[in-house]
């Protein structure tokens, strides 16, 4: 499904290069209207339809002007809708057991579908993958505005582990995070498996153990 973010693809939408819908200054945000717009966008995504300003306006019941005031681009709106149901995890306590955190979370706590993420179904996850892989701008916007924030608590915990001497001084925290999360994504996206499958969970735990052995001091 291609994303429609240009006047030629969505007749009647203001120009400004597709996505550059500007929010007018001095106008307070109405959270209820924001919610309507995001929910309508999510309904379009979940239905498998092409995401256009016209469809979002029709489903939300708000005006084009209201949408344009609130979202700098259709891309950022879609990114926000894709993140509904996801939360930034809290910071880990200073004495947290890093090994247990990684094994319990199965590398999924930061950004994937997991049994611990109610309201974020596997179907929603797959729709997200389909959309971001078809649009690099959306992929980058989603990473910068949503995904990267969810990594912070675990990355901070790993850095604390380095400071305590539990992990090697030369551990690349971002690379370790990518390796662990990547193992989980491989099960879901490449192999087409489910994390709830005991054999898959065991395979992922084995991968995390290998990564962990390379991290410890």
pLDDT tens digits for 37-60? Answer: 999 999 999 888 889 999 999 999
Last residue within a domain, chosen from 35, 52, 82: 82
The C-alpha angle 91, 94, 97, rounded to 5 degrees, equals 95
Residue 4 predicted with pLDDT over 50:
no
Q: Which domain holds residue 53?
A: 1-82
Enclosing H/E stretch for 92: none
Q: Tell me which residue of 86, 63, 56, 212 sits closest to 146, measured CA to CA.
A: 86
Residue 90 maps to a domain: no
Which one has a higher pLDDT value, 142 or 7? 142
Give the CATH number of the domain where residue 106 resides: 1.10.357.10
Contact 54, 42 (CB under 8 A): no
Give the pLDDT of residue 208: 93
Q: Is residue 50 part of a domain?
A: yes
Q: Is the per-residue pLDDT at 134 higher than 50?
A: yes
Q: Mean pLDDT across the stretch 33-39? A: 93
pLDDT at 201: 87
Same domain, 112 and 154: yes
Strand partners for 216: 167
**Separation CA 217–CA 215 (nearest Å):** 7
Same structural domain for residues 66 and 102? no
Q: What is the mean predicted confidence (pLDDT) over 127-136?
A: 90
Residue 138's pLDDT band (cuts 50, 70, 90): very high
% of the chain at pLDDT higher than 90: 47
pLDDT classification of 77: cutoffs 50, 70, 90: very high
Query: Do 123 and 201 sit in the same domain of this protein?
Result: yes
To the nearest 10°, the Cα dihedral for 29, 35, 40, 43? 150
11-25, 70-84, 115-129, 177-191: the lowest-pLDDT one: 11-25
The CB density around residue 7, as the number of other CB atoms within 10 Å, is 15
Given pLDDT bands bounded at 50, 70 and 90, which one contains residue 195?
Answer: confident
- Say whether 148 sits in a helix, a strand or coil: helix
> Number of structural domains, the chain?
2
- Does 96 or 167 have the greater pLDDT score? 167
Distance CA 110, CA 101 (A): 12
Q: Burial-class residue 146 by CB neighbours within 10 Å (0-12, 13-18, 19+).
A: middle
For the entire predicted model, the pTM comes to 0.73
**Which residue, among 174, 166, 134, has the nearest Cα to 182 in the 3D structure?**
174
Same domain? For 168 and 132 the reply is yes
3-state helix, strand, coil in the chain (%, to 5): 60, 0, 40
141 and 69 together in one domain: no
113 in Cβ contact with 188 (< 8 Å) = yes
Is 89 part of any domain? no
Q: Are residues 45 and 118 in the same domain?
A: no
Place of tokens 């924001």: 34
114: in domain = yes
pLDDT for 78: 94
User: Distance between CA 88 and CA 91 in Å, rounded?
Assistant: 9
Length of the chain (residues): 217
Query: With 90 as the cut, is the pLDDT of residue 26 above it?
Result: no
- Residues 5-18 pLDDT 10s: 433 334 444 333 33
Same domain, 210 and 144: yes
Do 66 and 120 reside in the same domain of the chain? no
pLDDT tens profile 88-108: 888 999 888 999 999 887 655
């Amino acid at each position: 499904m291609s994303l429609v973010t240009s006047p030629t693809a969505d007749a009647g939408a203001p120009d400004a290069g597709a996505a550059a819908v500007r929010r007018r200054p001095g106008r307070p945000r109405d959270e209820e209207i924001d919610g309507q717009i995001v929910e309508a966008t999510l309904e379009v995504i979940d239905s498998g339809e092409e995401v256009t300003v016209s469809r979002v306006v029709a489903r939300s019941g708000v005006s084009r002007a209201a949408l344009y005031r609130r979202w700098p681009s259709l891309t950022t709106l879609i990114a926000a809708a894709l993140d509904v149901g996801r939360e930034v995890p809290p910071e880990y306590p200073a004495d947290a057991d890093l090994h247990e955190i990684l094994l319990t979370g199965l590398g999924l706590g930061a950004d994937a579908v997991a049994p611990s993420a109610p309201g974020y179904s596997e179907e929603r996850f797959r729709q997200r993958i389909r959309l971001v892989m078809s649009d690099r701008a959306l992929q980058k916007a989603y990473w910068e505005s949503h995904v990267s924030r969810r990594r912070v608590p675990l990355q901070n915990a790993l850095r604390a582990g380095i400071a305590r001497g539990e992990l090697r001084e030369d551990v690349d925290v971002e690379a370790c995070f990518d390796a662990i999360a990547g193992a989980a994504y491989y099960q879901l996206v490449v192999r087409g498996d489910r994390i709830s499958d005991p054999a898959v969970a065991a395979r992922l735990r084995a991968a995390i153990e290998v990564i962990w052995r390379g991290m410890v001091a």
